[in-house]
């Protein structure tokens, strides 16, 4: 009995010691770039992971290094992949909660190697990840931190991670050399994928793949796709109705052609679009598209949003002659004609005009 108690106490002591030694995701995030790892004997993927884990100890890496063989069926605590020929390893903790990691290594054109490491902490629908890069110098036997555009990645939409928020995940390649960053918006049921291609020294931004992009753009292309220069080349996300769910805002290179789209639970809809004769203006929960609609014709359409859907459409239509006399002035709300008094009252009810300065991101890299 005493022997069993002694063994149990020793086991608990060892577990407590490990818990004190292991690094949290916040520990790694705040300290990795400040510390060069020395005494790395070679550039083998398991050697690099061991060297990293000696400094930044995590449970999944420790488990993999003790069991450095792919288990395939995932019968153990972790689903393990060890692919030495391709320089890739991963250990994903099974279940809804836990820690996981993956790592890979590339040969660089200068004779060094680039080591990449992704660490993940998951709790239910909340996923937190970091991605790290190191230069391995075979002469100095060192791993030197190398921050780059991936370690500095900023999500398309600044929203707290949560059930209706945004989850950002990094994916290292087991096959090929492309690194991918996936942004999954919970309420969209769609993802935005950022692809970084290997250039011989590091992964560089190549393109953005927005899921269902062709379907999303189809209604806009039916209206304006015939015009030269109407192809979208950049995007941003913006919450126009303050419901904590962003809309997708696409633009051509010169900004003359733009479309704003709602995406809710996989369903997409064109909210508003402009072309070279029209432009956007904004109020609280309202997007206005205004401009010429022919000789002596002016039209302004106000689209009111609620929960990322079109709630109302108000239209202000005017016709003028060459003497600048207004010949016709019609207000409609949801296709119902209003009196002049009702229309002016509706216009005067608009408040909170917004001066938006969107920061668009390119859909493809410009080299």
Q: What is the mean pLDDT of residues 331-336?
A: 95
Q: What is the mean pLDDT of residues 70-85?
A: 84
Portion of the chain with pLDDT greater than 70, in percent: 90
Q: What is the mean pLDDT of residues 45-62?
A: 97
Q: What is the pLDDT of residue 323?
A: 62
Banded pLDDT at 75 (limits 50, 70, 90): low
Q: What is the pLDDT of residue 366?
A: 78
Residue 125, CB half-sphere, CA atoms under 13 Å: how many? 11
- In the chain, count H helices and then E strands: 6, 21
Q: What is the pLDDT of residue 9?
A: 43
Domain boundaries, the chain: 22-210, 213-348
Distance CA 142, CA 36 (A): 7
Is-contact 116 179, C-beta < 8 A?
Answer: yes
Q: What is the pLDDT of residue 74?
A: 55
Q: What is the pLDDT of residue 68?
A: 94
Nearest CA among 31, 81, 21 for reference residue 57 = 21
Banded pLDDT at 5 (limits 50, 70, 90): very low
pLDDT > 50? residue 18: no
Distance CA 180, CA 197 (A): 9
Nearest CA among 49, 55, 66, 46 for reference residue 22 = 55
More confident residue, 323 or 45: 45
Q: What is the pLDDT of residue 293?
A: 83
User: Chain centroid to CA 275: how far?
Assistant: 27
Segment 102-135, tens digit of pLDDT: 999 999 999 999 999 999 998 877 889 999 999 9
Q: What is the pLDDT of residue 124?
A: 74
Element spanning 26, H or E: helix 25-31
Q: What is the mean pLDDT of residues 309-318?
A: 94
Q: What is the pLDDT of residue 367?
A: 66
SS3 state of residue 47: helix
Segment 206-265, tens digit of pLDDT: 999 999 999 999 999 999 988 888 899 999 999 999 888 899 999 999 999 999 999 999
Angle at alpha carbon of residue 119, lines to 122 and 78, rounded to 5°: 65
Provide the angle, in degrees to the nearest 10, between the axes of the packed helices 59-66 and 45-55: 140
Q: What is the mean pLDDT of the chain?
A: 89
- The two three-digit tokens of residue 269, written as one number: 């809809």
Q: What is the mean pLDDT of residues 139-147?
A: 98
Nearest CA among 133, 138, 120 for reference residue 41 = 138
SS3 state of residue 253: coil
Distance CA 349, CA 358 (A): 25
What lies within 8 Å, CB to CB, of 182 at 6+ separation is 168, 169, 171, 191, 192, 193, 194
Distance CA 74, CA 89 (A): 14
Banded pLDDT at 141 (limits 50, 70, 90): very high
Phi and psi at 145, nearest 5°, equal -55, 140
Distances (CA, A) of 92 to 72, 100, 266, 329: 12, 4, 28, 65
Q: What is the pLDDT of residue 163?
A: 41
- Does this model's pTM top 0.75? yes
Q: Could you identify the residue written with the tokens 């929203």? A: 159
Segment 159-191, tens digit of pLDDT: 544 445 788 999 999 999 999 999 998 889 999
Q: What is the pLDDT of residue 10?
A: 44
């Amino acid at each position: 009995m005493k022997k069993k108690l002694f063994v149990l106490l020793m086991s608990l002591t060892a577990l407590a010691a490990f818990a004190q030694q292991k690094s949290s995701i916040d520990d790694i995030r705040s300290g990795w770039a400040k510390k060069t790892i020395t005494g790395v004997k070679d550039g083998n993927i398991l050697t690099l992971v061991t060297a990293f884990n000696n400094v930044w100890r995590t449970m999944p890496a420790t488990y993999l290094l003790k069991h450095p063989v792919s288990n395939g069926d995932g019968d153990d605590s972790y689903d393990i992949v060890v692919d030495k020929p391709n320089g890739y390893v991963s250990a994903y903790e099974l279940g809804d909660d836990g820690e996981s990691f993956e790592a890979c290594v590339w040969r660089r054109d200068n004779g060094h190697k680039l080591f990449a490491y992704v660490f993940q902490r998951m709790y239910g629908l909340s996923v937190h990840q970091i991605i790290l890069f190191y230069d391995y110098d075979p002469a100095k036997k060192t791993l030197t931190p190398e921050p780059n555009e991936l370690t500095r990645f900023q999500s398309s939409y600044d929203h707290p991670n949560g059930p209706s928020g945004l989850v950002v995940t990094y994916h290292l390649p087991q096959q090929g050399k492309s690194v991918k960053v996936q942004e999954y918006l919970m309420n969209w049921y769609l993802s935005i994928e950022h692809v970084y291609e290997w250039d011989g020294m590091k992964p560089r931004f190549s393109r953005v793949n927005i899921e269902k992009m062709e379907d999303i753009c189809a209604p806009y292309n039916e209206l304006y796709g015939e015009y030269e220069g109407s192809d979208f080349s950049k995007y941003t996300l913006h919450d126009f109705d303050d419901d904590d769910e962003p809309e997708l805002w696409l633009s051509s290179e010169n900004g003359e052609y733009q479309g704003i789209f709602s995406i809710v639970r996989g369903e997409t809809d064109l909210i508003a679009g402009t072309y070279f004769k029209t432009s956007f203006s904004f109020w609280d929960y309202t997007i206005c598209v205004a401009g010429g609609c022919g000789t002596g014709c002016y039209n302004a359409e106000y689209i009111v949003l609620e929960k990322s859907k079109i709630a109302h459409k108000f239209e202000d239509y005017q016709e003028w002659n060459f003497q600048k006399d207004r010949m016709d002035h019609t207000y409609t709300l949801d296709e119902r004609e209003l009196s002049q008094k009702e229309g002016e009252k509706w216009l005067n009810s608009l408040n909170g005009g917004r001066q938006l300065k969107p920061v668009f991101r390119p859909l493809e890299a410009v080299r």
